[in-house]
Amino acid sequence: MARRLNETPPPGPAAGAPPIPGAEHIRQERTPAERAYDAIRELSERDKAFVQKEFGDGRFWKLKAFMEGTAWRDVGRAENPQPQTWLGRMYQGLREWSWNQGGQRPYQAAAVRDREMRELGEDATFLRMTTGTNGASLRRWIKTGAKIVGGAGAMAAGMMLTGGLTTVIGTPIFVAGLRELADGGVGILQAGWNVAGNWLKRRWEAQDASRAGTPGYDPTGRPNPDLGSMNPLQRSWEGKKAFWRNFVEKTTLEDEGLLRTYITNDVRDLKRLAEAPGLPAGAREASIARIIANMRENEAQLQEIRDHNLTVRRFYKFGRNFVSTIASVGGAVLQGVPLGFNDSWVSQGIGYGPGANPFAQMLLGASRWLGGAGSLAYLAARWTEFSHQGLEQHYGDSAKDWIANLKPEHENTRERVSGERTVVEQYLEELRDITLPGTRNLQKTGEYFRTLENEAASLGAMEPACHLVVTITGGTQIKEALESYAKQKTETGAPINWKEVEFLIFNDADANPAQLAKTIASIKKAAPSIQFRIVNAVSFEDGTSEENKRSTRQRYLDDLALMRSIKRPQRIQKPVYVVNGVSEGIHDEHFLGSILKRIDEKNPPAVLTGANHEIRGVNALYRGFFPAINDLENYLEGDWTTLRDNNYSAFRAMNYARIGGPRGAREDIVQSILEDVADTQERRTPTVSEKQKYLTKELTSLYRWYALYPSFREYRGDKAKFEADVLRKPRMNAPSPITDEQILHGEGRASFVRWMETGFGLVEGTHYYIRDNTRDIYLNIDPAGANWPVIEAAFSGRGRVK
Amino acid sequence: MADATSTQPQFDIGTVIEGNLFDLLGLTSLPEEQQDALRLTIMESIRDRVLLRIVKQLQPDQETEWLGLLDRDAPQAELEAYLAQAGVNVSSLVAEEALQYKIELAQRLGLVTEDA
């Protein structure tokens, strides 16, 4: 890599070039760009020299190879936009987010900051920058009011700002901090803090401005002392009392666990969106911005909880060390152990008791006080150290949890980035285990999707240009319908480009196969490029009525169309629309042409929401997504009675989202649906009960998790592991055990899916435990006749079940 | 910023952290190939710093053991696994050093406002 740099001349006149007459003085100073170039090279040479000196040449090259992995040298290169190693991806992320992003994409800056802070194991509002020591910046930095995570000295300075304790221990701590500075400058202030502090201050002022007048904040944007959400140490006394009451009455652990889960999910979403190839830029950015907004909101709440917990630690340690300090000071005074003096020397040289030298007595008293002050300073320093350790431990634990939670996503990312298989293709394996209750005779695990795959393959590859599928479920007038379709024209009267259209025709007795074949042969003679696909008949048991039968066939053809689309070897840019092809004949010769035109108008399908509903105006149905979202919204709005009817389509929407649509937009479709769900949840007014609210929140979270993170794949075929890791036997207060019939019916993945389905179906009197990375979900379907399930969180290791 | 004058613009630390480094340094007018080369140089610097940080985070016996693995040409995965079990989070180090590098470079060039 460095060799490549050496081949590149520095900016400015080439070395050895003759000076421009009369302009020699210009070259006496380097331009800013040249200075930057020089500085980068100097740092590079210096760093390299350090490393080579440290390790020697032999090890250096091996270490370099280790760091570079297999794709380091290609990081950031256009021909390799997706680095193959985790380290490469890290650099890629830094390059794209930290270095290449500009003001037009501020959320990416937020993203990288959040990510970096999280990976550093620190709270996102803290920064750690250690590039030297600058004692002169102490006072300026203190004025900023910035919170700090740093060395013990930095902690001491920070404590002086947090209020309450300053008067008592501020000075000794400051002294202790200076002592540290004198001892080598371990962290009282690290260079950059002065400017970083001001930067943070401005950020927080802007935050205050944005909060002005909102609940919990006063008209200036400052936290309401009694209702505010900032560090309780900064509140009024009444506010502090309210905080303590709140703290005593309500444990924050549950909230923290939930928030962590949400944030973790958001981070995962974010990373997936950021790393998923082929997304339309606008859709990706909009989704990222939205996720980050959610994440920040959750993180703000989490910070509040952390502040609360941290306050407890501080007060506890303060109390403990304050008592120790008093005891030590008292002990020092009583025992007469002054600094620099020796009692025996004092008693021999100066004397005790009557007749003793009064000056000596005065010195002795002064020395005792000095000793006390020294002890106080020492203990105060120890106190800050303890506090700092507590802080480190606190945030360190959080960071570990976070990283642990992120691990499955890292694994998934690695697999996705390094492998040739797309996300959809991975999902297909998952989907094989999903039972679709709408096709009851096909509901054996995976059979439905295998059927789809087999049928899609048997029909031959879909044309790369195809983005309109006309599905025909059968009917007595199919001949007339097909002949009418064959005569279709564009809106300008030009012939239809039949490579863009495919007809999927369900071949059953009603369609009169012999007549159908004859009709198709006749049409193909006139229009050879028109694409008919005769779909082998499968039987369904969804109902006996004609309406039900056609509806089920229609769903099957929809699924088949989507399956064929995603099985195409080439990615397509346009969406695939599935049109319910009426078999009674088409009277408007521009029917297909108008749809194709609208698809073009809507392309690329950055947002598959409201605007595309217009397509319906021409009798086209974008099946699956929108009705399902509506169903889900109904559910989330509390329309419980329709849940059983709607859970199928809700699940189906997720499945469609995962397999359907053009490859380039699939993640966006998922995200779009999830955001719709989230929007619905936000808009929802909890009216029925807190339990319903809780259930909605939990299930939505699980829904997201289920839809996006098929980490349960690892359990396939390993029932014991699934049971051990995911499902727990009921605890003592759960009256009925989990049985294979209830949950563990089949392989792990299918079992969980079944739980999700039955969870929506709600088997009364059944108790389930589901555990994800951060908590146990305890689901108790109330057998006492109430329709509402109770779903409560019990956090791992806490042993808390309501 | 990339003009030929010696006037040095300054930025607050927030801009430095969030801004495009090449914008800040006035290097955007460089050909893409030269920018790419500089990026790689920067990455090398960060890489070297991370290497130093890695061994600093290891206990002396761990360092000996890990370097021993290196000397024996142990597979990449084994080297990574050893660091992971030793509690060395290379990703965090990379992120941290990258941020520090950026700030150091900006400070070195006097790009950070003194009164910020």
Q: What is the pLDDT of residue A102?
A: 28
Say how far apart CA A721 and CA A464 lie, in whole Å: 43
Residue B8: per-residue pLDDT: 56
Q: Tell me the pLDDT band of A288, cut-offs 50, 70 and 90.
A: low
Say if CB A665 and CB A605 are below 8 A apart: yes
What is the predicted pLDDT for the residue at A415?
27
- pLDDT top residue among A394 and A322: A322
Pairwise CA distance, residues A216 & A230, whole Å: 10
Please say if the pLDDT value at position A455 is more than 80: yes
% of chain A at pLDDT higher than 70? 16
Q: Which of A1, A50, A198 sits opposite B40 (nearest CB)?
A: A1
Task: Evaluate if residue A615 carries a pLDDT over 60.
Answer: no
* Per-residue pLDDT, A555: 67
Q: Is the pLDDT of residue A135 over 70?
A: no
pLDDT interval class at A457 (50, 70, 90): confident
For residues A410-424, give the mean pLDDT. 29
Question: Any chain B CB within 8 A of the CB of A126?
Answer: no
Does the structure show a pLDDT above 70 at A107? no
- pLDDT tens for A359-372 read 444 444 444 444 44
Interface of A with B in 216-255 (CB under 8 A): none
- Within an 8 Å CB–CB cutoff, is residue A119 touching chain B? yes
pLDDT at B63 over 60: yes
Token digits for A267? 């981070």
Q: Which of A351-355, A388-392, A519-523 has the highest mean pLDDT?
A: A519-523
Residues in Cβ contact with A524 at an 8 Å cutoff, skipping those fewer than 6 apart? A530, A532
| DSSP conformation letters of A31-82 | -HHHHHHHHHHHHHHHHHHHHHHHHHHHHHHHHHHHHHTTTGGGTT-TT-SS
A769 pLDDT exceeds 70? no
CA distances from A646 to A539, A558, A703 (A): 23, 18, 15
pLDDT at A781: 34
Q: Is the pLDDT of residue A517 over 60?
A: yes
User: For residue A696, what are its two tokens?
Assistant: 């909605």
Contacts of A29 in chain B (CB under 8 A): 6
pLDDT digits (tens, 9 = 90+) for A580-590: 665 444 556 77
Nearest-CB residue to A62 (from B14, B70, B109): B70
- Name the E strands within A411-490: 468-472
Shortest CB distance from A48 goes to which of B48, B100, B108?
B48
> In chain A, what residues touch B109 (CB-CB under 8 Å)?
32, 35-36, 39
Among residues A745, A263, A703, A667, the alpha carbon closest in space to that of A427 is found at: A667
State residue A675's pLDDT score: 46
The DSSP 8-state label assigned to residue A477 in this structure reads T
A89-94 contacts at long range (C-beta below 8 A, 24 or more positions apart): A89/A275, A89/A413, A89/A417, A90/B91, A90/B94, A90/B95, A91/B43, A91/B46, A91/B94, A93/A274, A94/B94, A94/B95, A94/B98
* Averaged pLDDT score across all residues of chain A: 46
CB A122 within 8 A of CB A106: no
Name the pLDDT band for A498 (thresholds 50, 70, 90).
very high
pLDDT of A241: 42
At residue A504, the 3 state secondary structure works out as strand
pLDDT greater than 60 at residue A98: no
- Does A195 contact B13 at a Cβ distance shorter than 8 Å? yes
Chain A residues 400-439 with CB within 8 Å of chain B: 403
Please measure the distance between the N-terminal and C-terminal CA atoms of chain A and give it in whole angstroms.
Answer: 59
Provide the pLDDT confidence category of residue A262 given band limits of 50, 70 and 90. low
Across the strands, what pairs with A471? Answer: A504, A580
The label of the residue with tokens 């270095």 reads A99
Q: Which pLDDT score is estimated for A29?
A: 55
pLDDT in the model for residue A260: 53
What is the predicted pLDDT for the residue at A284?
A: 53
Task: Quick: pLDDT tens for A387-405.
Answer: 333 333 333 343 334 333 4
The structure tokens listed for A55 are: 């390790």
Query: Which residue did the predictor score with more confidence, A215 or A707?
Result: A215
Do the Cβ atoms of A291 and A266 come closer than 8 Å? yes
Residue bearing the bigger pLDDT, A259 or A146: A259
| Both tokens assigned to A141 | 């930095």
Per-residue pLDDT tens over the stretch A538-562: 765 544 455 556 666 776 776 677 6
- Residue window 173-212, chain A: list those with CB within 8 Å of chain B: 191-192, 194-196, 198-199, 202-203
Average pLDDT of the residues in A265-271: 53
- Closest listed residue to residue A739, CA positions, set A761, A718, A716, A766: A766
d(CA B107, CA B113): 9
Q: Is the pLDDT of residue B38 over 60?
A: yes
Nearest-CA distance from A133 to chain B in Å?
A: 13
Q: Which residues of B touch A40 (CB under 8 A)?
A: 38, 41-42, 45, 105
Interface-testing mutation among B29, B43, B104, B112, with chain A (most A C-beta atoms within 10 A): B43
